[in-house]
Structure 1
Amino acid sequence: MMSYRRSLMLCLLALVPLPSIAEPGVTTLEATRSEWSTYRFPLFEGGSAAPERINIYLHAFELDGLPGRFEQSPFERIWPTDDAGHGVVSLDYEIHAKTPGFLSLDIIGEYYGAYLSLGRNSYAFSLADGSPLSLPALFSEAGLQRVQQRISQARVGRIETFLAQLPVDGATGDEAEKIAIQRAMYGECLPRHQNTTLDHDRLVLEPTQLTLIAGGCSAHAVRALDDLGEFPNSFAYADLATELSAYGRCVLLEQRSDCRDLSNPQISGVYRGVVDRQQRTLVIAPPDTSGSSRAFYFRDKDASKVELVAKRRVDVSHIQLREQNAVPAMFELQLDRDGRLNGTWQPEGGVAIPVELR
């Protein structure tokens, strides 16, 4: 462990990111710590507010900061430190599609904690306003239920077919142990796919199809025995025409640049405004089926981050956000038809202050 951390510090070759053009409209922020520890991250360009919101959202969730707000490198908040030892040891990205209406990409990271692991986070954004795209926005309620059922049947069938092919007897030694582990692993995994909500699936949008990807069934210790791996399910947009919402058809089928979700707007994305005499940037992820989502804000003065606990109301246009601070405070916010959040911010024991975030 110590030699690993020491080599990271001694092999620090580049702290300041070097911009390089990855494709039109995208600059790549780069840093190198050693030949095996490199960092690449997208910075989107354009004349509208959408690229700015997308950059803020990606920086907030992946780099724990705001674009351009760093001392030495935009990656300094996530890479391993000499005392902690855990963190992101490499980072890259892959753009799946950039159409007039949407952007889809993966952030690919190698993380060092209890062990070294590779992970992907998938993001999709509307290019009309830079808001994150989610399944409840792209699909009608009934359409999403039908898609969930199709995916559940396919994944359960895949597992059951594999289990049926495992030898019942005759295996000995290591082979018998492998079969026993696989039978238990996939047996425990079946209920997850029988009752899937797709909450933890990665959403990948390509020019003509979308793919939903669920993680594998194995824990890290037995990953080598996970012959099935991830569970991807792809659908052509043309085949989903009756399942999509009007907004989803506009974004995915028509691929227009002016799509707005007016019938079912959701509170998610990036909002900015003055709270308690300070400019703040609020970042909220789309909710899962239980209504929970990640949220936090940054104080623009010093780019410090404050975690928030989000509580959605039955009326999806309302949200309550509680600050995780030494002195707790509460946001009570409502989304209006113009995409603004209006409401109050109130410190514990204090007076409610009107706020507007947009």
Structure 2
Amino acid sequence: MKKSVLFFSLISILCFSQQKNVLVSNLRPKSENFIFPLISLASKPSVEKKINTFLQVNELEFIPDSGKDPFHLASTATNTYRNFVYFYGWKKLETPNNILSLEMEGEASGAYSEHFVNYKNFDLRTGNLINLKDLFEPEAISEIQILVNKQIAKEITDYTDDLKANGNSEEDKEVIRMYQECLEYVKDGSLEYVEFFFGQDKITVVRGRCSNHAMRALDDLDDYFVELPFSRIEKYWSDYAKSLLSKNKKVTRQNTIENKLYKGTIDGKYPVTLFIKQLYDDGSFSAFYWYNKNKKLIEWSGNLKNNHISIIENDYHSEELKKWIPRAYIEADVIGKKISGTWQDYKTKKYLKLELEEL
């Protein structure tokens, strides 16, 4: 662990020179178990604030400036997923000019400890997270999925063919079974379950390993890294991707609510901030919102269909009824950068106006 911390700390210092305007330091208080990136972008304070808010809410469930210790929930397993989560280091990757790509290494501990490396990519013009699907025309996403899945399937097949030819132990047979089962899922794998990061002239798609925790020691292939050179996939670029990778200052908007931050009001007088997390292929998503005055995260569980959002805000879990009791129902429409609708109190049935706009 200490070697990892030293390595990432060195990278943290060296990466200052990689992009003149973007500085990445460590969120305080830094410790051996918490080395977490803090972004500084003096020329664009709103972008800086948006990126830091995203990172801290998404990874730590901490709202910036809401307390002294941003790592409290992660270090005490009092977050929504009830796991201890530690961050041992970060690395700023070499990217095209308009992009910030971060690699973060850590460990999550529940029933057992699990090492992780995740990647986050930001548009430095807006501060928005870059979703992989934003980069491609809708009709081209299936083509990208095929490219990625074929390469992973080939890596698995080549490995198992070699193992079949040269290995005959019971352990080898168990490994072959594991990869063959995994292969069935890989062939139809969706981009919603992968991560990615930018290089100067390519995207690398990262798919999680085939093994569960118990089988990990036998999984020599581990995570899969599929490199997609820009020259190979540029014919599939969306207008947003073309804008992102060009020197043109004009920004083409990401046409999605996924991983976006919104500001607005409830009842016209209560300022709130909304963070919508990953949007899945079936339209489901989860979100956090908070009243700007008290800065406490409130969970939403919702669904998007035909630009209409339906959300449930739960109040508490009834042990007697063995179900969640709602606090409110939200119905709203997505119109461009705005979300407009109602927040209905579950008990009183009173409707309050909800107005939000993308940050």
TM-score interval for Structure 1 and Structure 2 normalised by the shorter chain? 0.7 to 0.9
Matched residues in 2 for 1:324 and 1:231: separation? 38
After TM superposition, list the pairs within 5 Å mapping 1:220-259 onto structure 2.
220-252=213-245, 254=246, 256-259=248-251
- Confirm or deny that 1:261 pairs with 2:253: yes
Q: Which residue of 1 aligns with 2:192?
A: 199
Q: 2:74 aligns with which of 60, 78, 86?
A: 78
Q: Which residue of 1 aligns with 2:37?
A: 41
Asked if the contact 1:26–1:43 (Cα under 8 Å) also holds between the matched residues in 2, the reply is: yes
Q: Which residue of 1 aligns with 2:128?
A: 131
SS state at 1:131 partner:
coil
SS state at 1:179 partner:
helix
AA matched with 1:126: D
Displacement of 1:114 in angstroms is 2.0
Displacement of 1:140 in angstroms is 0.7
SS state at 1:345 partner:
strand
Matched residues in 2 for 1:271 and 1:220: separation? 37
Task: Provide the identity percentage.
Answer: 24
Q: 1:324 aligns with which of 301, 306, 314?
A: 314
After TM superposition, list the pairs within 5 Å mapping 1:31-110 onto structure 2.
31-33=29-31, 36-46=32-42, 47-70=44-67, 72-80=68-76, 86-97=83-94, 99-110=96-107
Matched residues in 2 for 1:355 and 1:90: separation? 36
Displacement of 1:255 in angstroms is 5.0
Distance 1:195 1:86, change over 3 A: closer
Distance 1:257 1:104, change over 3 A: farther
Matched residues in 1 for 2:279 and 2:29: separation? 33
Q: Which residue of 1 aligns with 2:4?
A: none
Over residues 110-151 of structure 1, what are the superposed CA-to-partner deviations in whole Å (9 max), with x where a residue is unaligned? 222222221122212222322222122210122221111111
RMSD value, Cα? 2.6
Matched residues in 2 for 1:124 and 1:151: separation? 19
Distance 1:169 1:28, change over 3 A: closer
Between 130-139 and 53-62, the greater mean CA deviation after superposition: 130-139
SS state at 1:289 partner:
coil
Distance 1:78 1:257, change over 3 A: farther
Q: 2:342 aligns with which of 327, 341, 344?
A: 344
Q: Which residue of 2 aligns with 1:25?
A: 23
Over residues 202-258 of structure 1, what are the superposed CA-to-partner deviations in whole Å (9 max), with x where a residue is unaligned? 121222211110011011112111011111111122322211111111113x15443
Over residues 40-67 of structure 1, what are the superposed CA-to-partner deviations in whole Å (9 max), with x where a residue is unaligned? 3323333342222211111111111111
Distance 1:293 1:188, change over 3 A: same
TM-score relative to the length of structure 1: 0.82
TM-score relative to the length of structure 2: 0.82
Flag structure 1 segments of 5+ consecutive residues without an equivalent: 1-19
Q: Which residue of 2 aligns with 1:148?
A: 145
Asked if the contact 1:267–1:335 (Cα under 8 Å) also holds between the matched residues in 2, the reply is: no
Asked if the contact 1:323–1:329 (Cα under 8 Å) also holds between the matched residues in 2, the reply is: yes
Displacement of 1:319 in angstroms is 1.9
AA matched with 1:332: E
Distance 1:191 1:255, change over 3 A: farther
AA matched with 2:174: I
Matched residues in 1 for 2:14 and 2:65: separation? 17
Distance 1:147 1:76, change over 3 A: same
Flag structure 2 segments of 5+ consecutive residues without an equivalent: 1-12, 17-21, 317-325
AA matched with 1:292: S
Between the two proteins, the alignment pairs up a number of residues equal to: 326
AA matched with 2:85: V
Matched residues in 1 for 2:355 and 2:158: separation? 54
Asked if the contact 1:130–1:269 (Cα under 8 Å) also holds between the matched residues in 2, the reply is: no
AA matched with 1:39: I
Between 271-280 and 210-219, the greater mean CA deviation after superposition: 271-280
Over residues 288-314 of structure 1, what are the superposed CA-to-partner deviations in whole Å (9 max), with x where a residue is unaligned? 22222231112222221111102011x
SS state at 2:253 partner:
coil
